[in-house]
Structure 1
Amino acid sequence: MSSGVPRTVKAVDTSELIGLDTEAIECGLNRNHGAGWLAEFADPAAVHYLRPVLVHRAGHRPEFSPHWRCMLLLTVQDGQQIFSLLDVLPASFEDLPETLDAATKTKIAHRLEHGDLLTQAQWADLNP
């Protein structure tokens, strides 16, 4: 993990996740899901998990650099958990409450790194 990012995992509901994704799109950050994708495919009742993994700089948008590239454990409408990435502004991530205990954070981080998850692109190819 790169220094400069918090060593934590945060839980977000679908509404919060859509807000973060919309912010990434509006800021021109590279890792987002595209307008409307999460609203269409994310499970509206699920909890999703973000884990910052590196500091990313967008040369084309210096006003939004640096930001954090986060691993995302995303639950889609069929109940499956998939892997994705989302660029998040540090202040937006910091505004999310810490709601998970250490054991849960460790379990989610392990699932993200070693869970043999489908990626968002792979899932989308299987679910046109």
Structure 2
Amino acid sequence: MHGFSQRLPVGWLQEHLAVEATHYLFPTLVHRLTHRPEVPLQWRCQQLLTVSTGEQIWGLLDVLPGTFDKLPETLDTASKKDVVSRIERTTTVREWMERMAADAGS
């Protein structure tokens, strides 16, 4: 993995996500905090987000399995492969944030 769950604040999401876009979430691995047994098992998910600039960026998010299971399945196998391929080629949330900060400063 390329980093930890960003746990992006709601305010950041409201400011930067394209409201009308579809965003994607894929479980990638089981995440256990063995040093913190009180924390329940979570799924580390890759997320593909579309931001207000129209770009797609990807990040990581830890989700409880029961919460993820409640999400409706909307993609067929070919569509899932396409989304994963886009995740592999796109900018990370962190890289996008750094670029936006640099652009704002210039």
TM-score, normalised via structure 2 length: 0.81
In the TM superposition, residue 33 of structure 1 has moved relative to its aligned partner by 1.0
Aligned residues: percent identity?
Answer: 47
- Count how many residue pairs are aligned between Structure 1 and Structure 2: 97
Larger-gyration structure (1/2): 2
Residue type at the aligned position of 1:50: L
User: Higher relative CO (CA 8 A, sep ≥ 6), structure 1 or 2?
Assistant: 1
TM-score, normalised via structure 1 length: 0.68
Runs of at least 5 residues in structure 1 that lack an aligned partner in the other structure = 1-29
CA contact (8 A) 1:64 1:89 kept: no
The alignment partner of 1:127 has SS state of helix
Runs of at least 5 residues in structure 2 that lack an aligned partner in the other structure = 102-106
In the TM superposition, residue 47 of structure 1 has moved relative to its aligned partner by 0.6
Q: 2: CA distance between counterparts of 1:46 and 1:82? A: 12
* Partner deviation per Cα, 1:66-121 (whole Å, 9 max, x = no partner): 100001111001010011111111011100001111110111122223x1x11111
Structure 1 residue aligned with 2:26: 51
